[in-house]
Structure 1
Amino acid sequence: METFASALTDTTWSPYTVGIGIGILSWLSFLISGKPIATSTTFARAGGMIEQMIRGEKAKQRPYYEKIKLLINWQWMLVIGVVIGSFISASISGDFQVGVWVPSLWSSAFGDNALLRVFVAVIGGILLGFGARFAGGCTSGHGISGTLQLAVSSWISAIFFFVGGIITAHIIFFVIA
């Protein structure tokens, strides 16, 4: 049985361990803040704040921004924590590499063109953002918090996250490659 300290240096963790951790984190989120884990609204708020820097107070008058409020809140802290935690985890495990723009799986399928990889990642991120706003939440909002609350809309969303991911992976790695 490995110790907790040695588990921190692993590059991959058991999905059961991670699932239990996410469950505990979700429970603590509800207990402490009374809010579910979710992140996609943070990116919509960030876009609104950028628009506000350019257009001024007119941006806040958009109905959507009036609804979500352009402010830095606990979701921002969650997103920042995910980035910092990922960096710490990759550093402790020895998996962090400066200057690696193209993962080996991508490189073996599509070559090592960093510009293509960044372009596809940006397009994918934009599509995910639109999908999250269209679905009224992201994988963490629907897939974790919503399914824990047994919300039917979240279960439907989560099922289609997996279906869409499987289809996309087959298209990208079997048809294109």
Structure 2
Amino acid sequence: MSVQGSKSQVPLAAIATGLLALVALGAYSEAGPRQAAATLIGAVAGLSLYHASFGFTAAWRRIVTERRGAGLRAQFVLILLTCAVSFPLLVWGRTLGWPAGGFVFPFGVAAALGAFMFGAGMQLGGGCGSGTLFTAGGGSTRMMITLAAFVLGSVAATAHFHLWARLPKLPPVSLIREFGPHGAFLLTALVLGGLALVTLHIERKAHGEVAPGRPTVSLLKGPWSPMLGAVMLAIVGIATFVVVGRPWGITSGLALWGAKVFQALGVPVDTWPYWTWQRSALENHVLRDTTSVMNFGIMLGAMFAAALAGKFTPVWRLGRRDVLTALAGGLLMGYGARLAYGCNIGAYLGGLVSGSLHGWLWLVFGFLGSLLGTRLRIKLGMG
């Protein structure tokens, strides 16, 4: 990308900055300084995701189709760096003045099916929860379709959530409670280290050597190395624990957006059991919802990053296959995420950095779904 091309998008970077400031000010007005800070944390996440091209979807696909594991290893670094701070915070945070709670949920038939649906959907849609937001914010018109379908699938799942909740499930299990923060961290490190060694073996067996890492070209304009992206996103996750008091999440905000749209159209979503439980979120301004303002921040941070890189170039003509797979992928992800307590960020990453067993089980079923989605991509000629 030429310097001239980058300069031509400076006004867009200014627009993204202005919109981010408006959202942060609105969040401050609605819920105070922590809400404004959450918006800015989201923006850092969006910039980091975009510049590092950091997504779970492509990394899970590449280990299967190309036998390359750098993306997975970067994810493991992200998880371990976050756990190194989140585990102590969950145990001693209140004493230190930073009280934090984790995502520790039961896992059963509905969650397994939801994680499987999500894994398949992210390959068809072209991105996970965070991937959909940052690529849409970065100018991808196809991912805007995926995002709209994601929102629709999310709110549709809330209509049936109480029925799925009746299916058998395992009780919630906290590794931190079972083994203490040090033991839980050691166990997490051993499992992730073992998985990293497996990816290295697969890569060396297929190619004879491990591919050199992609370097960071420019901190301001990108691209970044996957490891820099992992470090920055670990900072995002830790900051979320400190400021918000819980792990980073994505998809509950999308369900809320859909519910508010449905309500505006006259659909009585407030009578659905899910929204009677979440009545305050439905009744309050969307800027009072922390997940929503972080999502807005992700999209605007990615727009800012794309403008700095001179790569904000929406494509307005899409083929039928692109549109249909975006719709199918978004619907599967949205519906599946509600059943499985979230996406790669809220359920997988959020579960692991909370020391919850459900995060590991989500990984298993999500990866199985991703295998199906990858096979479907190949059959459909999506590469």
State how far apart, in whole Å, the 2-side matches of 1:126 and 1:19 are.
28
Aligned-residue sequence identity (percent) comes to: 24
Given that 1:40 and 1:129 are in contact with CA atoms closer than 8 Å, whether structure 2 keeps it comes out as yes
Given that 2:270 and 2:276 are in contact with CA atoms closer than 8 Å, whether structure 1 keeps it comes out as yes
Aligned length: 160
Question: 3-state SS of the aligned residue for 1:156?
Answer: helix
Given that 1:60 and 1:66 are in contact with CA atoms closer than 8 Å, whether structure 2 keeps it comes out as yes
Larger mean Cα displacement after TM superposition, 78-87 or 14-23: 14-23
| CA positional deviation for 1:78 | 1.0
User: Structure 2 length as normaliser, TM-score?
Assistant: 0.39
Question: 3-state SS of the aligned residue for 2:218?
Answer: helix
Asked if 1:34 is matched to 2:250, the reply is no
State how far apart, in whole Å, the 1-side matches of 2:225 and 2:368 are.
23
Q: Aligned match of 1:10 in 222, 233, 254?
A: 222
Asked if 1:167 is matched to 2:372, the reply is yes
Query: Which residue of 2 is the match for residue 122 of structure 1?
Result: 327
| CA positional deviation for 1:159 | 3.1
Please give the per-residue CA displacement for 1:26-76, whole angstroms capped at 9, x wherever unaligned.
Answer: 1111111112211111111112111211227x4212210122331421111
Given that 1:30 and 1:36 are in contact with CA atoms closer than 8 Å, whether structure 2 keeps it comes out as yes
Q: Aligned match of 1:45 in 242, 256, 263?
A: 256
| CA positional deviation for 1:116 | 2.6
Asked if 1:176 is matched to 2:380, the reply is yes
| CA positional deviation for 1:89 | 1.2
Query: Which residue of 2 is the match for residue 19 of structure 1?
Result: 230
User: Structure 1 length as normaliser, TM-score?
Assistant: 0.80
Given that 2:253 and 2:291 are in contact with CA atoms closer than 8 Å, whether structure 1 keeps it comes out as yes
State how far apart, in whole Å, the 2-side matches of 1:88 and 1:82 are.
10
Question: Which structure is larger by alpha-carbon Rg, 1 or 2?
Answer: 2
Query: Which residue of 2 is the match for residue 132 of structure 1?
Result: 337
Which blocks of at least 5 consecutive residues in structure 2 are unaligned? Answer: 1-215
Which blocks of at least 5 consecutive residues in structure 1 are unaligned? Answer: 103-112
Larger relative contact order (CA 8 Å, sep ≥ 6): 2
Given that 2:247 and 2:354 are in contact with CA atoms closer than 8 Å, whether structure 1 keeps it comes out as no
Asked if 1:92 is matched to 2:302, the reply is no
Q: 1:18 to 1:163 in 2, by over 3 A?
A: farther
Q: CA RMSD in A?
A: 2.1
Query: Which residue of 2 is the match for residue 76 of structure 1?
Result: 292
State how far apart, in whole Å, the 1-side matches of 2:380 and 2:362 are.
27
Q: 1:135 to 1:24 in 2, by over 3 A?
A: same
| Counterpart code for 1:176 | L
State how far apart, in whole Å, the 2-side matches of 1:138 and 1:101 are.
29
State how far apart, in whole Å, the 1-side matches of 2:239 and 2:350 are.
12
| Counterpart code for 1:29 | T
| CA positional deviation for 1:118 | 1.9
